[in-house]
Amino acid sequence: MIKNDLFLRALKGETVERPPVWMMRQAGRYLPEFMEIKKKYDFFTRCQTPELASEITVQPIRRFGMDAAILFSDILVVPQAMDIEVQMKTNFGPYLPKPVRTQDDVDRVIVPDVNDALGYVMDAIKATKEKLNDEVPLIGFAGSPWTILCYCVQGQGSKTFDRAKEMCFTQPEAAHALLQKITDTTIAYLKAKVKAGVNAVQVFDSWGGMLSPVDYQEFSWQYIQQIIDALKDEAPVIVFGKGCWFALGEMAKSGAAALGVDWTCSAKNARYLSGGHITLQGNFDPARLLSPPSDIKKMVTQMINEFGKDRYVANLGHGILPNVPLENAKAFIDAVKEYRQ
C-alpha cells in the first residue's frame, strides 16, 4: 500500500484534505544533485542506466516531498526503440539524422518488442519503486503519437513543425501509417510500464496546439484515444495537451482520469470546457517560479481557490525551467502542502 495516496485519490475524484502536488520535469535540470550526474554521463546514458534514472527520479522527492514521482526518461526513447536514430546534441536538443518523410521511410520503421528494446525503462521502474519504498506513487509517461511524429519527420525541434504538417497534409496515408505504428508501440510500452510498477501514466501532447481543431482530431486525438482505451482499465491515464484547450470537451469524455492544462487557459475556462466533472492538473506558468517566493505562495493559493481543492492536481502548465531557484520551487510545493480552505 502506498503511504501517501493523495495523488491517486485526486485522480479518482475523491474528496481530499488538500490537492496533491508534483511538477512536470521535477526530476532534472534545476537540481544541483542532478547537475552533478549530468557532468559525468550524457543524456541517453542517464535514461538507459536504471541506477541513474532511478536516482534522478527520487532526488526531488527527497528534497521537496512532492506527492508523486515521475520516472526520469524521455519521450524520444520510443522512436529509438522503433529503429529511428535519435541523438541529443548539447545546446541544440534532439536531432534525428534520418528523418521519416516518405512511405518507404515509414515502411522501414518497426514496431518493436518493448520489453526487449525498452527493458532498461522497466528495470528503472523496479529500481525506483524500491527507492520510493511505497512512500508516493510513481508516474510513467510517453509522448503522444502526433508529438513523436513531429520529431521523426522534422528531424529536430521546431517552432512550427512545418515539415511534419506538410507530410500529414500531402501524404496522409504515410502519416497515418506512421502514427499507427507509434500508437501500437506506445500502448505496448505503457502497458509494460504499468506491469513493471508505475501507478499512473501521462501522455504528453506537447505539440498538439500546433494543429487546428479539425486537424487535431484527425492527426492527434484519435490516436491518444486508442491509448486511453487500451490503458484506462489498467492504470489512471492523464492527458496533457499543450495549447489544446479547444479539445478539453472531447478529452473529458475519453475515459482519461485527468487532463493537464497549460497556463494560457484559466481555471474557470478549463472547468467550463471540460464539463466540470473530471480531475484537472496544472497550470502555474513555469516562468512565474522566477517571482519572489512570497508572491509564488500567494499565486499558488489563488490558483487552488480557482480550480477548487477536489478533482485537482496542482502542477505547472509545462516543465520547470532550468534557472528556477531551489527556494522558489520549494515555495511552490510548500504552498500547496500548506493549503487549507
* CATH at 167: 3.20.20.210
Tell me the C-alpha distance between 268 and 133, whole Å.
37
Indicate the pTM of the whole model: 0.98
Examine residue 212 and state whether it is found in any structural domain, yes or no.
yes
> Is residue 89, in this structure, part of any structural domain at all?
yes
Assess contact for 98 and 55: CB atoms under 8 A.
Answer: no
Query: Which residue is associated with the grid cell 531551489?
Result: 326
- 3-state secondary structure (DSSP) of residue 109: coil
Residue 1 lies in a domain: no
Q: What is the pLDDT of residues 184-229, one digit of tens each?
A: 999 999 999 999 999 999 999 999 999 999 999 999 999 999 999 9
Domain annotation covers residue 93: yes
CA distance 130 to 123: 11
Quote the cell numbers at residue 78: 520510443
- Binding-site positions read 25-29, 44, 74, 151, 206, 318
How far is CA 259 from each of CA 5, 68, 288, 324, rounded to the nearest angstrom? 19, 16, 21, 25
pLDDT above 90 for 336: yes
Please indicate, yes or no, if residue 130 is contained in any of the structural domains: yes
* C-beta separation of 71 from 26 below 8 A: no
Of 4, 73, 29, 7, nearest to 320 by C-alpha is: 29
Number of Cβ atoms within 10 Å of the Cβ of 91: 4
**pLDDT score recorded for residue 224:** 99
Query: Does residue 186 belong to any structural domain of this protein?
Result: yes
**Residue 29: its pLDDT value, please?**
95
Which residues are annotated as part of the binding site for substrate?
A: 25-29, 44, 74, 151, 206, 318
Mean confidence (pLDDT) of the chain? 98
- Number of folded domains that form the chain: 1
The boundaries of the domain holding residue 176 are 6-337
Question: What confidence score (pLDDT) does residue 341 get?
Answer: 81
The verdict on residue 230 lying in a domain is yes
In a domain, 29, yes or no: yes
β-partners of residue 156 are 95
Q: d(Cα 267, Cα 261) in Å, to the nearest integer?
A: 8
Could you report the per-residue pLDDT of 18-50, keeping only the tens digit for each? 999 999 999 999 999 999 999 999 999 999 999
Dihedral over alpha carbons 167, 173, 174, 179 (to 10 degrees): 90
Cell representation of residue 48: 538507459
The cell for 116 is: 526487449
Rounded to an integer, what distance in angstroms lies between the CA atom of residue 244 and that of residue 262? 9
CA–CA separation, 335 and 330 (whole Å): 8
